[in-house]
């Protein structure tokens, strides 16, 4: 497993997709900052980190697997390893580590943009959402985004094994990123008498990236913080199990 | 070294490989020959534990299964296309699998890749990629090397160089299993030939014995070829059709002459033929098709 992970990190470091993904992420954060302004809400959300990080992760997760099939290197990977699980987990871990790196980039960009756009206005220790400092809200949002990242990576891997087409997976990812929460709200609203069950739908897990720092989102998701964290992780595990079984059965 | 014992491979419900058995000993260069779709690549993939199979495959007396690849640690392979990451340089591609930097450097020089090994592989020509794929297969002093169409895209000089390297490694004890459609090239290196068709093994012989088949054929032409066909079939004599007549085995020419004489079918030509390697393969395949056709009719 250690060797597999080292190989994956080596490949990932040299892949242009990692660099382009990071650049696109930074540009999107700056665009949001310039467009929306450095309001306390925007600062707490890291200039839309939850949304942009999810999109970058979706695109990158599916391409990191798809390229192995495209270049025929999957054959070497599988025959050189007795455990397909270690291959799958190594790729998963690399993308997750990348999401942690992007969260770090988001912190730096958010701090930098604040200084450039508004200077000393709004202190990082000022209270927001009634019960926490601006910095705590930002860190909680990033933590929620990383938990959501687990969900996104496992979903992207599973979808790629299912549809075998990178473009289709990226398309689905973008749809989830932009209209996922609206779809979830519409679904829960369509069956108000079944909201107790409907609130557990997978699209509702997207709220985990916002509600840890802002309780108003908990009223939309109808789930408590601990419920949504646990459910998101369980969904990630479920997608991992399904995705891995599809990968195991896929011919190379 | 490698033992393949009565393997069957199914893809879905279709049987792709039927009861194939063979051995590759240290230092042997075994050529896996057959038409497109015969099952050569499937056999190679099965040895590498990439497909489910019935039967037994061992490398150095250790069994290989779809989930147990440990015995493949000293097996190098190039299957279908070179497994290369285009965003890495040639050297970085090698480093991914190399356990010995000195061995890796020597291979780069041996394969004459020094000039471009530090440039990104996305700019490589087909031949350069193929050489890199072969280098990956030869890394870490393997006990067994499996090469699927290794001469693809190589120019004459590179082909000669690869042939020399294969022989050099074989002399040191490395076993090779090689498939190639360039039969003349394969003929120059292999010590054993395995002919596969429709997933079944037709021939498994050392090259010396296989080449003896070259002198075993006679070309036959009569004044009534259609009647001759019926006559040979009726007496269950071995033959294959050519454009102008038949190819018959040397040991049957007297019996054939007697039969033709009895039916008053006159000979136009009966002459020994010297078949080259490719013609022997084609002849063997045609004979097998003939037998299958007869089975279908009966």
Query: Who has greater pLDDT, A121 or B45?
Result: B45
B15 CB neighbour count, 10 Å cutoff: 16
The whole-angstrom separation of Cα A71 and Cα A69 is 6
Instruction: Return the H-helix or E-strand segment holding A45.
Output: none
Residues of A whose CB is below 8 A from B81: 72
Strand B267-273 and strand B217-222: the pairing is antiparallel
- Which of B209, B225, B243 is a domain's end point? B209
Is B62 in the same domain as B192?
yes
B68, closest residue in chain A (CA to CA): A82
Query: Who has greater pLDDT, B90 or A181?
Result: B90
Contacting residues for A189 by C-beta, under 8 A, at least 6 apart: none
Burial, A23: exposed, middle or buried (Cβ in 10 Å; 0-12, 13-18, 19+)? exposed
- Which of B209, B244, B270 is a domain's end point? B209
Residues of A whose CB is below 8 A from B51: 251
Determine whether the interchain pair B80/A251 forms a contact, defined as Cβ–Cβ distance below 8 Å.
Answer: no
Categorize the per-residue pLDDT at B183 as very low, low, confident or very high, splitting at 50, 70 and 90.
confident
Identify the pLDDT of residue B137. Answer: 97
Identify the pLDDT of residue B214. Answer: 66
A73, closest residue in chain B (CA to CA): B83
- Span B193-212, mean pLDDT? 87
Determine whether the interchain pair A71/B84 forms a contact, defined as Cβ–Cβ distance below 8 Å.
Answer: yes
Which residues span the domain enclosing A97? 2-249
Is B23 in the same domain as B149?
yes
Instruction: Give the CATH number of the domain where residue B137 resides.
Output: 3.40.50.300
**Core vs surface per residue A71-92: b (16+ CB within 10 A) or e:** bbbbbbbbbbbbebeebbbbbb
CB–CB of A8/A94 below 8 Å? yes
- Which of B148, B174, B209 is a domain's end point? B209
Which residues span the domain enclosing B263? 216-297
Residues of B whose CB is below 8 A from A71: 83-86
Determine whether the interchain pair A16/B96 forms a contact, defined as Cβ–Cβ distance below 8 Å.
Answer: no
- Residue A113's closest CA among A210, A26, A41? A26
Give the CA distances from residue A17 to residues A21, A66, A94, A247, B295, in Å, rounded to whole numbers and listed in that order: 6, 12, 13, 22, 57
Is B204 in the same domain as B220?
no
Identify the pLDDT of residue B298. Answer: 66
Residues of A whose CB is below 8 A from B97: 76, 80
Identify the pLDDT of residue A142. Answer: 94
Both structure tokens of B17: 């490989």
HSE-CB of A125 using CA atoms within 13 angstroms:
0
Contacting residues for A6 by C-beta, under 8 A, at least 6 apart: none
- Span B15-37, mean pLDDT? 93
Determine whether the interchain pair A73/B49 forms a contact, defined as Cβ–Cβ distance below 8 Å.
Answer: no
Radius of gyration of chain B (CA): 23
Give the CA distances from residue A151 to residues A51, A186, A228, B5, in Å, rounded to whole numbers and listed in that order: 13, 21, 12, 45
Determine whether the interchain pair B85/A78 forms a contact, defined as Cβ–Cβ distance below 8 Å.
Answer: no
Lookup result for tokens 């689905």: A172
Both structure tokens of A216: 């108003």
Residues of B whose CB is below 8 A from A81: 69
Q: What is the mean pLDDT of each run of 10 residues along chain A (252 residues)?
A: 89 90 95 90 92 91 90 92 90 96 96 89 84 90 94 93 87 84 85 85 90 85 92 96 94 84
CB–CB of B16/B177 below 8 Å? no
Residues of B whose CB is below 8 A from A82: 67-70
The whole-angstrom separation of Cα B125 and Cα B113 is 12
Is B63 in the same domain as B161?
yes
Identify the pLDDT of residue B292. Answer: 72
Highest mean pLDDT among A5-14, B84-93, B212-221: B84-93
Instruction: Return the H-helix or E-strand segment holding B269.
Output: strand B267-273
**What is the sign of the dihedral through the CA atoms of A193, A199, A204 and A208?**
positive
For chain B, how many structural domains are there in total?
2
Q: Inform me whether the pLDDT recorded for B122 exceeds 90.
A: yes
CB–CB of B89/B117 below 8 Å? yes
Interface test with B, best of A60, A64, A82 (most B CBs within 10 A): A82
Identify the pLDDT of residue B112. Answer: 93
The whole-angstrom separation of Cα A129 and Cα A211 is 11
Is B113 in the same domain as B190?
yes
The whole-angstrom separation of Cα A33 and Cα A113 is 7
Is B106 in the same domain as B245?
no
A249 CB neighbour count, 10 Å cutoff: 9
Is B223 in the same domain as B204?
no
Q: What pLDDT, in 10s, does the model give residues B125-160?
A: 999 999 999 999 999 999 999 999 999 888 999 999
Q: Inform me whether the pLDDT recorded for B266 exceeds 90.
A: yes
> ipTM of the predicted structure?
0.84
Determine whether the interchain pair B87/A72 forms a contact, defined as Cβ–Cβ distance below 8 Å.
Answer: no
Q: Which residues of B touch A (CB under 8 A)?
A: 11, 45, 48-51, 67-70, 72, 77, 79-88, 92, 95-97, 136
A17, closest residue in chain B (CA to CA): B87
Identify the pLDDT of residue B215. Answer: 66
Residues of B whose CB is below 8 A from A252: 45, 50
B51, B69, B85 ranked by CB distance to A81: nearest: B69
B49, B86, B95 ranked by CB distance to A79: nearest: B49
For chain A, how many structural domains are there in total?
1
Identify the pLDDT of residue B181. Answer: 78
């Amino acid at each position: 497993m250690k060797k597999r992970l080292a190989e994956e990190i080596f490949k990932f470091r040299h892949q242009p997709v990692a660099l382009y993904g990071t650049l696109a992420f930074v540009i999107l954060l700056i665009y949001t900052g310039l467009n929306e302004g450095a309001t306390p809400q925007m600062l707490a959300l890291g200039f839309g980190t939850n949304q942009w990080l999810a999109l970058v992760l979706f695109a990158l997760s599916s391409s990191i697997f798809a390229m192995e099939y495209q270049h025929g290197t999957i054959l070497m990977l599988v025959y050189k390893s007795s455990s397909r699980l270690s291959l799958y987990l190594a790729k998963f871990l690399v993308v997750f580590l990348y999401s942690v790196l992007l969260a770090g980039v988001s912190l730096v960009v958010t701090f930098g943009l604040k200084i450039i756009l508004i200077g000393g206005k709004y202190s990082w220790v000022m209270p927001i959402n009634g019960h926490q400092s601006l910095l705590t809200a930002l860190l909680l949002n990033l933590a929620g985004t990383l938990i959501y990242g687990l969900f996104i990576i496992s979903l992207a891997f599973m979808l790629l094994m299912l549809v075998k087409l990178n473009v289709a997976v990226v398309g689905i990812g973008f749809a989830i990123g932009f209209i996922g929460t609206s779809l979830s709200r519409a679904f829960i609203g369509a069956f108000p008498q079944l909201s107790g069950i409907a609130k557990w739908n997978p699209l509702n897990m997207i709220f985990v990236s916002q509600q840890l720092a802002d309780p108003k989102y908990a009223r939309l998701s109808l789930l408590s913080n601990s419920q949504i964290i646990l459910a998101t992780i369980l969904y990630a595990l479920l997608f991992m199990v399904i995705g891995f079984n599809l990968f195991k059965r896929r011919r190379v | 070294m490698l033992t393949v014992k009565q393997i069957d491979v199914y893809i879905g419900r279709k049987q792709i490989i039927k009861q194939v058995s063979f051995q590759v000993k240290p230092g042997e260069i075994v050529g896996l020959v057959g038409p497109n779709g015969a099952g050569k690549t499937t056999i190679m993939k099965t040895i590498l534990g990439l497909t489910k199979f019935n039967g037994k495959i061992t490398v150095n007396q250790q069994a290989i299964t779809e989930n147990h690849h440990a015995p493949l640690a000293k097996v190098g392979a190039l299957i279908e296309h070179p497994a290369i990451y285009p965003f890495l340089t040639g050297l970085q591609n090698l480093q991914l699998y190399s356990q010995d930097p000195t061995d890796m450097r020597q291979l780069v020089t041996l394969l004459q890749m020094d000039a471009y090994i530090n440039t990104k592989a996305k700019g490589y020509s087909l031949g350069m990629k193929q050489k890199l794929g072969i280098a990956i297969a030869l890394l870490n002093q393997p006990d067994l090397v499996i090469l699927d169409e290794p001469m693809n895209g190589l120019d004459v000089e590179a082909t000669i160089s690869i042939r020399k390297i294969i022989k050099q490694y074989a002399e040191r004890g490395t076993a090779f299993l090689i498939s190639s459609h360039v039969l003349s090239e394969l003929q120059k290196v292999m010590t054993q030939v395995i002919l596969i068709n429709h997933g079944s093994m037709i021939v498994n012989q050392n090259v010396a014995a296989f080449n003896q088949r070259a002198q075993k054929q006679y070309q036959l032409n009569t004044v009534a070829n259609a009647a001759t066909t019926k006559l040979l079939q009726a007496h269950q004599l071995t033959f294959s059709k050519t454009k102008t007549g038949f190819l018959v085995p040397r040991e049957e020419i007297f019996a054939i002459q007697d039969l033709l004489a009895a039916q008053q079918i006159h000979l136009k030509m009966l002459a020994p033929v010297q078949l080259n390697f490719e013609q022997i393969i084609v002849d063997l395949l045609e004979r097998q098709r003939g037998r299958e056709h007869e089975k279908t009719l009966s």
